[in-house]
Amino acid sequence: MATNEQRREAAKRKLERQIEHRQQQAKRNRAIAAAVTAGAVVVIIGLVVFFATRGGDDPAAQAKPQGQQQPTLRIPTERVAVPERPKPLPNPVTCSYPDSGNAAKKVSPPKDGTVPSKGTVDVTMSTTAGDIGLTLDRSLAPCTVNSMLNLIKQDYYEGSSCHRLGTRELQMLQCGDPTGTGSGGPGYRFADETFPQLHYGRGLVAMANSGPNTNGSQFFLVYGEAPLDPDYSVFGTISDEGLATLDKVARAGIGQPGPTGDGTGRPAMPVKFTDITVSA
């Protein structure tokens, strides 16, 4: 039979073994926890690197790749010189306005006959984007000026919107078609009033056409560069206020690209004519 002292020694050794076992277990738990934590950190870092380098899955990254930026619109600040005819036109000149088919808006053509080729007329075209002032010059294109005044008098342009904006090589705003498609006209046409010395650039307004002697109601307002052949009748200049309006429209950009693929299209900022007045 064990004595009390022997029993105490046995109990002491058992307690020491239990304490040692607990210490070893605690040590193993700490090692496992450290390993799990380290593994989790590695996984997190791997995920961060994975998603950071997978720009293709991010729509924003696809839309705006690094190093690729939208082209900046550069608008000249200086006006171009107003073209001058090498030889003045006789005064008066004879104009005719033959029928060209269906009109986009019912209107009467000007009377055929003589019109003056001297003098200017100031016009203010109020639009939803701001006022555009024009000075129509009869010495450049008297038959064109006569037609414009005829259309303005009959409210042909009021309520119509400019349908084509160019912001690249051809920096202009085209207007004058009540249908807004670029194919509408007044139902009559008249001859070109061009000459070889014609040029185009900031501050000039010219007639749009679909070929020789097909002028109607559409015109384009040039606020910047316009490297064109001398095939479009220049008939006036744009006011400083008008150029500020055009610059604002141009900087707003193109809302809907046109079908021609030449970088032109419908302006994002609508330009609708609300009132047009002629100063005597």
Question: Could you give the CA distance from residue 200 to residue 270 in angstroms, rounded to a whole number?
Answer: 24
**Same domain (yes/no): 223, 134:** yes
| 99 and 47 inside one domain | no
- Name the residue range of residue 52's domain: 4-57
Please indicate, yes or no, whether residues 254 and 179 belong to a single structural domain of this protein.
yes
Query: Do residue 113 and residue 242 come from a single domain?
Result: yes
Bridge partners of 218, per DSSP, are: none
* Nearest in space to 236 (alpha carbons), one of 120, 129, 151, 128: 120
Look-up: residue for tokens 């919107």? 161
Whether 50 and 136 map to the same domain: the answer is: no
* pLDDT digit string, tens, across residues 92-101: 999 999 999 9
Same domain, 158 and 262: yes
Does a structural domain hold residue 39?
yes
Specify whether 111 is located in the same domain as 239: yes
Contact partners, residue 2, CB within 8 Å, separation at least 6: 10
pTM score of the predicted model: 0.75
Does a structural domain hold residue 141? yes
Neighbours of 234 (CB within 10 A): 23
CATH number at residue 157: 2.40.100.10
> Which residue reads 């496992």 in tokens?
32
Is residue 207 in some structural domain?
A: yes
How far, in Å, CA of 103 to CA of 184, rounded?
A: 7
**Count of residues making up the chain:** 280
Domain count within the chain? 2
Q: Is residue 68 part of a domain?
A: no
With respect to residue 66, please indicate whether it lies within any of the assigned structural domains.
Answer: no
In a shared domain, residues 116 and 48: no
Distance CA 126, CA 128 (A): 7
Per-residue pLDDT at 101: 93
Does residue 260 lie in a domain region? yes
Residue 67, in any domain of the structure? no
pLDDT of res. 18: 53
Question: In terms of domains, do 267 and 166 share one?
Answer: yes
Please enumerate in sequence order all residues whose Cβ is within 8 A of that of 208, keeping only pairs 6 or more positions apart, or say none.
174, 176, 218, 219, 220, 232
- Specify if 132 maps to a domain: yes
pLDDT in tens, 138-176: 999 999 999 999 999 999 999 999 999 999 999 999 999
Look over the chain and give the mean of its residue pLDDT values, rounded to a whole number: 84
The residues pairing with 272 across neighbouring beta strands, listed in sequence order, are 161
Reported as a single tens digit per residue, the pLDDT across 204-251 is: 999 999 999 999 999 999 999 999 999 999 999 999 999 999 999 999
With a pLDDT cut of 70, the percent of the chain lying above it is 74
